[in-house]
A and B are shown apart, each in its own frame.
Chain A
């Protein structure tokens, strides 16, 4: 617990009653915010104040609060997940801010992520991309090979793991000026493409996932690289390159 006096802040927060109504920024003041608190704990404090005043608290998505579920979002001062790098909003701590600062808080903005309320958006388009091919078609009966019968070089397993670390938060989409989901989809395609188990249906997978990604209204990738910068899990542009290669080869095969 810090003995220091807490921060006083001005918050400009996007409020929007539902998907049909128009939204606008509202201004809130908050004081005595501990620098050890997380950003979401700061919002909890604000919400507690709002409830006590009989106002409606601000709706925002969150669950695990340890950077792994991908539920929290928030565009903070123009950046998804705020000013720190390599973390989600729930892992952002108030020591990153200065006393007296004004903070702008907005929801993810992208055609493929409609706003539900205030700071909450609908990311189910990601689920639909997954349902189009984000899996290995194996029965769940357990009657498969002994796990060690499939040897995987450590380097490949590690690279697959790095790609699999994506938490589906959508920061990559939110930050991209085209609203592209290539980093997200590339990560999943790469994970499976790197493993022998996933190779068998690699072509089908990439074709189906890319097709659904386009149908869901995600934009094209123009190699700006903003997604890589803002990804809390360090997913790199390499996965997009790999996906493009996979897609290219799959299309050749198809043609």
Chain B
């Protein structure tokens, strides 16, 4: 029997969540301190969950590998967070946010989950404002909004270019309050290395203290995984360097199904790769696409001259520029969704029009000159300057841009040494976000009872593609407003269980396995560093499981990853000792998991013989090069079951996606 019961409540979609809440079991306040909950990860999802659960009265043990929850990867999000508040009166509503998210996800997400996300989104903003998150405001004191790719309303709330930072600091503040009260026991610089299951239920974890190297046992009545996404399987990505899949992968190996691993979002506006020593890619917020126009030279000679440094982009006349997004997608122009914008950039660069002076010529322009002029003229009128000079217009326009995106422009200049007020930014797509993740039901519970998964680590809300500003929304929705209800329903059966012991065979075995692996790494006097293998894996992933995929390429990838994996286990070298801070050892554990996951991603991509969202198969494209979905055969979630260390033996389970409230259409942004 398949374990895939999505537990979607009956009834009309607009009432499902309310009805479900009305009928779930509760844990009464005086019983909550008899219950321990482990939260792995303290980004937006884990941080908000830990704070809320602690406030409700549970004993929370939270873990993160950084030195403080304030440093989780969520901190890096720049652009904004969506919410269906309709403050701008432009026709936004819960339904429209729901609709945009489903369509943006290429009809590969679950209706009920997405509706709930849209429904609770408005409370997130209320909550964060109450916590002191300094969102951007209008002069009248009300909240300001902007818009992101793939939508036609302004529903994105922002805090300058640091929205993720401010939201995370909000959650971290809420956590700090509970830490101060002793309700959250925070384990900084601790990494979860395995899940412990007792009598079929998640009852604890094995963690390594990253300062002392000690392997520790921690028990709880339920375990929440909020460990973020797995984009670093590509080595180069916009993710933080420590982002990894280990927690999610470990529970997968213990029985949790892993869903849609091939859905990876490639973000269109990153700074292009400059060289082989590069360690990560830096995102330029998508919000820049509100003001920037994307182009490459129309004539191939100009592209060549630019790459050779003989021509400057500012000197190419407007009529000799190919604003390819505006040309191909007039309705959305530069604001098409990310997968569309990314593929269009690749198409131009593959055709030889790329402008970056690197091996692959991967780069296009994001140009602010039109906006500077336009805003400059508007400001001149506002300030009663008649007949402004060109310089005045430029200066006024520049200060407008500076006010809106100043910190991003500074960051760009620091990295590239180019001044983007004068010359257009160079950008190229990069791996950014993973829509796949641990399969969870409507209650955010994995296929392991008592093991819940929230935020980017689960698969549920974004389908095959995520629209901008919706990951932050999902993280906080899960953590503040969904999990605290659904986990209570599960825990209500546990009020008489008492403290869970760590002195039993299950903890012994799990700890021993980890200890053996530590010993293996330290004693395997191999020939190559961990990064050597990680880079090899990344190369295969980017070239064969990247923006465009073919069956042959995917088959090769599966084979090649298998070989890198064998090589890794034979030849990896980890210097240093086990019982101390050892960052190479930390990486070794993470890369071991990436090697298995990478193979599963390729396998999943091979099975999905259609194109949808971030998964683009060249053998399933229209003559114009647009994605060709196959709803007849692939309107399902692919949930993989681990079946031994040979990843090729994983078993796929299907959850059919049923659309009752939205008509499934071909996605078009023309």
CB within 8 Å of B: which residues of A? 1-2, 17-18, 33-34, 36-38, 40-42, 44-45, 48, 50-52, 54-57, 59, 61-71, 84, 86-87, 91, 93, 95, 116-117, 120, 122-124, 126-127, 130-148, 150-154, 157-158, 160-161, 164-165, 167-168, 191-192, 195, 197-198
B575 touching A34 by the CB < 8 A rule?
A: no
B332-373 contacts to A (CB < 8 Å): 357-359
Q: Which of B24-32, B123-131, B422-430, B493-501 contacts A (4 or more CB under 8 A)?
A: B123-131
**Contact flags (1/0) for B12-29 with A, using CB distance below 8 Å?**
000000000000000000
- Shortest B394–chain A CB gap in Å is 24
**Interface SS of chain A: helix, strand, loop or mixed?**
loop
CA A66 – CA B271 in complex, angstroms? 12
- Is A59 in contact with B415, judged by CB distance below 8 angstroms? no
CA distance A57 to B587 in the complex (A): 13
Chain B positions within 8 Å of A17 at CB level: 580
Asked if B642 is at the interface of the complex by the 8 Å CB criterion, the answer is: no
Q: For A56, what are the chain B residues with a Cβ–Cβ distance below 8 Å? A: 575-576
CB within 8 Å for A130 and B176 given contacts A17-B580, A41-B278, A148-B143 = yes
Q: Do A135 and B417 contact each other (CB < 8 Å), given the known contacts A37-B277, A151-B142? A: no
10 smallest CB-CB distances across A and B, nearest first, come from A151-B141, A142-B123, A135-B173, A131-B180, A147-B129, A161-B134, A160-B134, A157-B137, A51-B529, A144-B130
Residues A93 and B51 in contact, CB atoms below 8 Å apart:
no
Q: Is the CB of B188 within 8 A of A68?
A: no
Asked whether A63 and B277 contact (CB < 8 A) given A68-B165, A130-B172, A152-B141, the answer is no
Min CB gap B640→A, angstroms: 29
Tell me if B96 is interfacial: C-beta within 8 Å of chain A: no
What's the least CB distance linking B490 to chain A, in Å? 20
Assess whether B166 is in contact with A65, with CB atoms less than 8 Å apart. no
Asked if B480 CB lies within 8 Å of chain A CBs, one says yes
User: A134–B532 Cα gap in the complex (Å)?
Assistant: 42
Residues from chain A with a CB closer than 8 A to the CB of B124 are: 142
Could you tell me the distance between the alpha carbons of A134 and B138 in the complex, rounded to whole angstroms? 26
Expressed in whole angstroms, the Cα–Cα distance for A148 and B186 within the complex equals 34
Q: Which residue of A lies closest to B403 (CB)?
A: A158
Collect the chain B residues with CB atoms within 8 Å of residue A68's CB.
Answer: 75-76, 162, 165
B160 at the interface (CB under 8 A from A): yes
Give, as a whole number of angstroms, the nearest-CB distance from B370 to chain A. Answer: 26
Assess whether A70 is in contact with B179, with CB atoms less than 8 Å apart: no
- Interface-located stretch among B62-70, B296-304, B376-384, B654-662: B62-70
Since A37-B275, A124-B68, A197-B131 are in contact, a sample of 19 more A-B pairs with Cβ atoms closer than 8 Å, ordered by chain A residue number, is: A36-B275, A37-B277, A56-B575, A63-B240, A64-B76, A69-B73, A123-B67, A123-B68, A131-B177, A135-B176, A138-B127, A141-B52, A141-B127, A153-B141, A157-B136, A158-B134, A158-B137, A161-B159, A161-B166
Does the CB pair A148–B142 fall under 8 Å? yes
In this complex, what residue of B is CB-closest to A94?
B277
- Pairwise interchain contact A1-B275, C-beta atoms closer than 8 A: yes
The answer to whether B274 touches A36, judged by C-beta atoms less than 8 angstroms apart, is yes
Name A154's contact: one of B132, B139, B186, B531 (CB within 8 Å).
B139
- By a CB distance below 8 angstroms, the chain B residues around A151 are 140-142
Is the Cβ of B581 less than 8 Å from the Cβ of A116?
Answer: yes
Q: CA of A198 to CA of B61 in the docked complex: distance in angstroms?
A: 28
Interchain CA distance A48-B584 in the complex, whole Å:
10
Would A1 and B357 be within 8 Å (CB), given that A64-B75, A164-B169 are in contact?
yes
Assess A136 versus B583: contact at CB under 8 Å? Given A86-B410, A87-B414: no
Residues of B within 8 A of A65 (CB): 240-241, 279-280, 282
Once the chains bind, are A44 and B280 in contact (CB under 8 Å)?
no
CA of A224 to CA of B395 in the docked complex: distance in angstroms? 35
Complex CA gap A238/B173 in Å reads 22
How far does the alpha carbon of A36 sit from the alpha carbon of B138 in the complex, in Å? 39
**B71 engages A70 (CB within 8 Å):** yes
- A124's contact among B67, B129, B135, B282, by CB below 8 Å, is which? B67
Chain A: minimal CB distance from B375 (Å): 18
Do A134 and B173 have beta carbons less than 8 Å apart? Answer: yes
Kindly list chain A residues whose C-beta atoms are within 8 Å of the C-beta of B282.
Answer: 65-66
Distance in angstroms from B123 CB to nearest chain A CB is 4
Residues of A within 8 A of B528 (CB): 52
Contacts of A54 in B (CB 8 A): 573, 575
- Which residue of B is nearest A63, CB measured? B240
Flag if A127 contacts B176 (CB, 8 Å). yes
| Distance between A109 CB and nearest chain B CB, rounded to angstroms | 17
B173 touches A130 (CB 8 A): yes
B179 touches A45 (CB 8 A): no
Q: Which residues of A contact B575 (CB under 8 A)?
A: 50-51, 54-57
Residue numbers in A under 8 Å from B411 (CB-CB): 66-67, 91
A93 to B417, CA, bound (A): 9
Contacts of A146 in B (CB 8 A): 126
Q: How far is the CA of A141 from the CA of B66 in the complex (A)?
A: 27
Q: Please, which residues of chain A bring their CB within 8 A of the CB of B241?
A: 62-65
**Chain A residues in 8 Å Cβ range of B573:** 51, 54
15 A–B contact pairs at CB < 8 A?
A: A38-B279, A48-B529, A51-B584, A63-B73, A68-B162, A69-B70, A71-B71, A91-B415, A116-B581, A123-B68, A124-B68, A144-B126, A148-B142, A157-B137, A165-B160
